[in-house]
Amino acid sequence: MFIFGTNTKMQHTPQISQQFLQEVIEKARDHLNHVQLFYIPPYTSLTGVSEFCQRHNIWLGAQNTHWELEGAFTGEVAAPILKASGASFVMLGHVERRQMFAETDEMINKKVLAASSTGLRVMLCVGESAFEKRAGAGNTAVKRQLELALSGYKHPEQLLILYEPVWSIGSGGEAASPDYVARAMDNIRATLKEKFAREGEGVPILYGGSVNADNCAPYALLSQCAGLGVGRTGWEAESFVKVLRTALAAR
């Protein structure tokens, strides 16, 4: 099953989220037996679309969580609240959280463990910076992120890895070549197997980073690629489904 979806960041009001998902289901109806869709909207959309997502088997994700399960942390959202709001997984370690909000590997690890204790699936984002790439240390950086974020984590069956090279995301991002992504995914798979033994072979690895309808096919064909995370291209239902159709046709 091909895993496919989008993180809408600070896009999509609750009403737009409902409209978006309804349009996606209508436009992608012929492909739903071949794909596991996921959708990661702002917190405010979770409760409004949770029933729809359950009915259509869409994984509904949150964009972040706090590492404490409750407490005096104004403006934060705890994992139990996310689960009660309908989220089935949470995305952690996104580069925007690392860079803009100074999230450390230790903080991300604590969030991973908090989400796991609540029964949420974890989508862990990893990726090297442009400097690490130029220095030939990309694989080392990603391996380190995985090892630290997953320290003490015991549920690989509830884990997904989203590989997003830092230099490839955002409005000025440059999509990585399929060969580059293949090597990076081999490194991720090897690290997961070191960590979880045979169970590490079954952890889905997704690629995200300036994915669109023109470049998605080669990524979808990669042996280690279990799916794609689409950025701004996926924020409109028509373009979302166009990328999905192209990727599935390639497989």
Catalytic positions: 94, 164
Give the residue from 169, 97, 105, 89 showing the smallest Cα distance to 143.
105
Cβ–Cβ under 8 Å, residues 122 and 159: yes
- Beta-strand pair 159-163/205-208: parallel
Reduced to 3 states (helix: H, G, I; strand: E, B; else coil), residue 107 is: helix
Half-sphere exposure of 236 (CA within 13 A, CB side): 6
Residue whose token pair is 């952690």: 92
What are the structure tokens assigned to 76, written together?
Answer: 């934060």
Tokens of 112: 């991973």
Contacts of 221 (CB under 8 A, 6+ apart): 178, 250, 251
Say which residues have a Cβ less than 8 Å from residue 209's Cβ, sequence separation at least 6.
127, 163, 164, 165, 168, 169, 173, 175, 176, 231
CA geometry: angle at 72 spanning 68 and 77, to 5°?
Answer: 55
Strand-pair partners of 7 = 40
